[in-house]
Amino acid sequence: MWRVSARVKALTDLDYGIFVNDIRQAVEPVLAKYRGRGVEGISATYTGLVPLVYKAQHSLLNGLLTGFAGDLIIIAIALVFVMRDWSAGLLLGLASIFPIAVVFGAMGWLGIVVDVGTVMTPAVALGVTVDDAIHFMLWCRHGQERGLNRHESIMFAYRDCAQAIYQSWGVIGLGLSAFALSSFTPTQRFGYLMFAMLTASSFGNLVLLPALLASPLANFFWQSGERIAERKRRQRSAQQAIDLHPHVVPVESPIFEEEPVAVAAANGTELILEAGESTEPAVTPLRYGVTRRAGKTAGRRFPSKPR
């Protein structure tokens, strides 16, 4: 068994797939020559760090593209249903793509290679960016429901959301930037790339997103918001009118049949009177009597002396 080793830099812009193919094209003709002479059982196996890194990087890059695109589409569709307007998904997509386009565009311009450490950052940054963008857009809708115009609603959302966006950048961005102090190169790149991407995300949510909402691109967003706000105001007014002026439904009063009346005399005797009879000629020293009807009992006071 022969072992041939080749040293290759691990963190360069070299395409390891092309490198492995070049080695295979150089080795296979030699092996084919020996096979032609009748030598059996001869083969070449390509192992080591380079094929492993090549497969891992291609798997991560393919997962990055499909996963990021799928997550963004699903989140945009969900926001369309929440906001009840298709332009909300478009605005969210533009605000979410901005930090990734800026950071990875700068990396390509500066010649920085995308490796295992940097390929994981867009998924983390996407969650923070989408959360802040949805928060800002929902507060714009709250401003519309309060009767504010477009620019007043944006300022209303800015006053409420700016502090939360700064805090998320400080906690997550500065917290993950501690990985930049690591001696392991992929972890180090993950740290400072996360800081750069979250900084671009905060800039996009505080500058780009309000500019998009104030532009003609968001006309459909504000029009649908005005329709929803007007419908909620009408429902609120109708509910207040019902609370102030309740609707009374007339109900026919039931007819109760009179029952015999029990009247207590002064000496403790009890006299049962039929309906319509008078108590004056029969018993005079009455104090209290009780008139009982079916389903209802009412008290009635009788004089103690005849007048």
Ordered structural domains, the chain, with CATH: 1-47 (no CATH), 54-244 (1.20.1640.10), 261-301 (no CATH)
The H-or-E segment that residue 270 falls in is: strand 270-273
289: Cβ–Cβ under 8 A, 6 or more apart, which residues? 261, 262, 263, 264, 279, 300, 301, 302
User: What pLDDT is attached to residue 43?
Assistant: 77
DSSP state letter for 280: T
User: What pLDDT is attached to residue 156?
Assistant: 92
User: What pLDDT is attached to residue 251?
Assistant: 57
Selection from 251, 266, 264, 254 nearest residue 296 by Cα: 254
pTM check: above 0.75: no
* Alpha-carbon torsion angle 98, 102, 108, 110, nearest 10: 180
Question: How many helical (H) and strand (E) elements, i.e. helices and strands, does the chain have?
Answer: 9, 4
What does the pLDDT profile of the chain (307 residues) look like in tens digits?
677 777 766 555 566 667 777 788 888 888 888 777 777 777 777 777 666 767 777 777 777 778 777 877 888 788 778 777 777 888 888 888 888 888 888 888 887 777 777 777 887 888 888 888 888 988 988 888 888 888 999 999 998 888 889 888 888 888 888 888 888 877 888 888 889 989 999 999 999 999 999 888 888 888 877 777 777 777 777 777 776 665 555 656 555 555 554 444 444 444 444 444 444 444 444 444 444 444 444 444 444 444 4
25: Cβ–Cβ under 8 A, 6 or more apart, which residues? none
Task: Please compute, for residue 20, the number of CA atoms within 13 A of its CA located in the half-sphere on the CB side.
Answer: 15
Query: What would the two tokens of residue 55 be?
Result: 């497969």
Q: 291-294: long-range contacts at Cβ-Cβ below 8 A with a sequence spacing of 24 or more?
A: 291/261, 292/259, 292/261, 292/262, 293/256, 293/257, 293/258, 293/259, 294/256, 294/257, 294/259
The CB density around residue 233, as the number of other CB atoms within 10 Å, is 13
Selection from 109, 103, 117, 110 nearest residue 202 by Cα: 103
SS3 (DSSP) at 251: coil
